[in-house]
Amino acid sequence: MKLRLVLIWLLCFASFGTWAALIRVTDTDSLTLALNKAQAGDTLVLATGVYEGSFKVTQSISLKGEIGATLDALRQGSALVIEAPQVSIEGLNIRHWGRDLYYRDAAILLKKGADNVQIKGNRLVGDGFGIYGEQLNSPIITDNSISGNGAIHVLDRGDGIYLKHVNSPQIDRNQLIFVRDGVYLESVTHSRIYENQFTKLQYGIHYMYTQADEAWQNQAIAVDGGYALMNSTHIYLHHNRVTQARDFGILLNITEASHVQANVASQIHNPKGTVELGNEGKGIFIYAAQHNRIQDNEFSHSDTGISMAMGGEENRLWHNRIMANQTQVKYVGEAQLEWSYQGQGNYWSEYQGWDLNGDGLGDIAHRPNDSLDKLFWLYPEAKLLMESPVVLLLRWVERQFKPQVTSGISDSFPLMQRGAHVLIDGGSR
């Protein structure tokens, strides 16, 4: 009995020895050989140089690049295919992987079961996907730079990071540019995405059929859209920024029970958009989305600040700052909606009421649209009358008489101060 225990202990020790193996490779052949022979726990160090072709990782090992170590897939297929759990990839340059999206050409392709992968401090430049993973758990993707090909039509590029049926991914401090979506998540749960930078791409983060996600302190600049929440539930989106987007800052579509807090969406402008076609730039666009909380955000300097379609009524909005948008709010529906919560409304840059009792709230309710706005939305052909004296008179009359409100948005507790415009450290829930 005792002897057997000792034997087991010895075996463990022996395998412990192999875990520690550190293998340095210097060219394509030695890398291929080392990948074939490597045991779980080994570390492969890639010396400075170019390694050509597609490489497969089938054991739980670490790959570390010395400065300038570069994988070059020669424009075919994926550069690195991971087929084992607990793999770590660090400090590599990867370039020239394929551009066939159907075959999932990627710099790093994670196969089913490649759990707990760590991808850290790599520099990826290529046409297809940056990192592509399906059916796996807990990948950590940190501090990488992923650049697509700006010369390809945005829809024919791969996504920077594409994850499908993945649980608990962590994606932080990456820089993504010239890809399709920065991060595309489909049927993902419990993702945590923070401090990433998205530039010149379709959407910063695109949620599709996801649940219980959190994203904070990300930045999107010069994109089509900042953060698209579609068919998803229980997302906590907070302290993110998006500026100079074309279509929207934030999109809430068939998304429920989500919390959108302290984000900034500014300068959302579509030079080719028109309000008639409904494709003007929108700070936040809410449609067919219910039971979401939208608080403390800034929607400013955009074509439309908040655009809500019918079917987006059941949401709670308060403590937002809606400032200097060409159209502050667009809502054409029949319902009468109150945008405030527990006696606190939003800050409106155009609000002209007084606060005589000094409680920080305007004394009369704010209605961002009068009935003439609605008239022009319904009859855009009458637009040429917009600045006519008759219309100005009608607007003035409506303001004087405070007619019975029957539809549209009102805020009974408009804030007099725009409040602290700071990005507080988000942290986790």
For the CB of residue 420, give the shortest distance to other proteins in the complex, in Å: 32
Complex with other proteins: residue 64 or 246, whichever CB lies closer: 246
For the CB of residue 296, give the shortest distance to other proteins in the complex, in Å: 25
- Residue 7, sorted as left (phi over 0), alpha (psi -120 to 50) or beta, turns out to be alpha
Looking at residue 425, its amino acid is: D
For the CB of residue 60, give the shortest distance to other proteins in the complex, in Å: 34
Identify whether the C-beta of residue 179 lies closer than 8 Å to the C-beta of residue 148. yes
Complex with other proteins: residue 128 or 225, whichever CB lies closer: 225
Complex with other proteins: residue 277 or 392, whichever CB lies closer: 277
Residue 5 — φ and ψ, nearest 5°? -60, -45
* Eight-state DSSP code of residue 375: H
For the CB of residue 355, give the shortest distance to other proteins in the complex, in Å: 34
**169, 241, 352, 365, 408 from 218: Cα distances, Å:** 16, 6, 34, 34, 33
Q: For residue 147, what are its two tokens?
A: 């650049």
Q: For residue 293, what are its two tokens?
A: 């909380």
For the CB of residue 332, give the shortest distance to other proteins in the complex, in Å: 4
Query: What three-state secondary structure class fits 18?
Result: helix
Q: For residue 338, what are its two tokens?
A: 């109150």
Complex with other proteins: residue 23 or 152, whichever CB lies closer: 152
For the CB of residue 156, give the shortest distance to other proteins in the complex, in Å: 8
For the CB of residue 374, give the shortest distance to other proteins in the complex, in Å: 8
Identify whether the C-beta of residue 240 lies closer than 8 Å to the C-beta of residue 249. no
Complex with other proteins: residue 157 or 319, whichever CB lies closer: 157
Complex with other proteins: residue 8 or 277, whichever CB lies closer: 277
Measure the N-to-C terminal CA separation of the chain; round to a whole number of Å: 51
For the CB of residue 274, give the shortest distance to other proteins in the complex, in Å: 9
Report residue 417 CA to chain centroid gap: 29
2 exposure class (CB count in 10 Å sphere: 0-12, 13-18, 19+)? exposed
For the CB of residue 135, give the shortest distance to other proteins in the complex, in Å: 19
Complex with other proteins: residue 21 or 375, whichever CB lies closer: 375
For the CB of residue 424, give the shortest distance to other proteins in the complex, in Å: 30
Complex with other proteins: residue 82 or 250, whichever CB lies closer: 250
Query: What three-state secondary structure class fits 351?
Result: coil
Identify whether the C-beta of residue 255 lies closer than 8 Å to the C-beta of residue 230. yes
Please, what is the angle between helix 371-378 and helix 389-401, to 10°? 140
Q: Where are the alpha helices (DSSP H) in 96-227?
A: none
Which residues make up the interface to other proteins (CB under 8 A)? 153, 155-156, 203, 224-225, 228, 230-231, 247-248, 251, 253-254, 276-279, 287-288, 290, 309-311, 332-334, 377-381
Complex with other proteins: residue 333 or 353, whichever CB lies closer: 333
**126, 272, 301, 407 from 326: Cα distances, Å:** 39, 15, 7, 21
- Residue 82, sorted as left (phi over 0), alpha (psi -120 to 50) or beta, turns out to be beta
Complex with other proteins: residue 126 or 225, whichever CB lies closer: 225
Identify whether the C-beta of residue 350 lies closer than 8 Å to the C-beta of residue 328. yes
Measured CA to CA, the distance from residue 174 to residue 154 in angstroms comes to 20
